[in-house]
Amino acid sequence: MSGFEIFWPVVAHVALVFMLYALLSIRRSAVVRAGKAEASQFRENRGEPSESLVVRNSIANQFELPVLFYACCVMLHITEADNIMSLGLAWLFVALRYAHAFVHVTSNRLRYRGPLFLAGFVTLAAMWAWLSLWMAMN
């Protein structure tokens, strides 16, 4: 490993956030053009139509658990615990975030979204457990 592999999942997650912001812009423009909202409503987030609200909520969700993911990746790198296991967990976490965001901005069905969130949560907890174990052993 070159030493920077743990940061590629971080870059992939950042790409997801940028895609969600692009989708939010597209959806907000569409609801304004359709007459469902006025652009001024978005200044203070008053009465946002559901078409764009789900995207806004999905973006907010990308700054909750993923903040702990970013911190863990940096710490894994600093402590040299960024091996194949932690890298696999990091990619799994990001894949689950993509799946969660997809469900969030499409059907938004909790039946699917909930288990995806839980799987990401457990994956991130495993990353932190691995980091803690690594630090305790070294």
Please write the tens of the pLDDT for every residue from 59-107.
999 999 999 999 999 999 999 999 999 999 999 999 999 999 999 999 9
Q: Can you give the pTM of this predicted structure? A: 0.95
Q: How far apart are CA 25 and CA 9, in angstroms?
A: 25
Q: Provide the H-helix boundaries in the chain.
A: 7-33, 50-61, 65-78, 84-105, 110-137
* Residue 74 contacts residue 108 (beta carbons within 8 Å): no
pLDDT tier at 40, thresholds 50, 70, 90? confident
* Residue 41 contacts residue 86 (beta carbons within 8 Å): no
Per the structure block, which two tokens stand in for 31? 């609801």
Measured CA distances, 136 to 6, 75, 131 (Å): 20, 14, 9
Q: How far apart are CA 39 and CA 17, in angstroms?
A: 22
Q: Check pLDDT > 70 for residue 108.
A: yes
pLDDT tier at 1, thresholds 50, 70, 90? low
Per the structure block, which two tokens stand in for 117? 């969130």
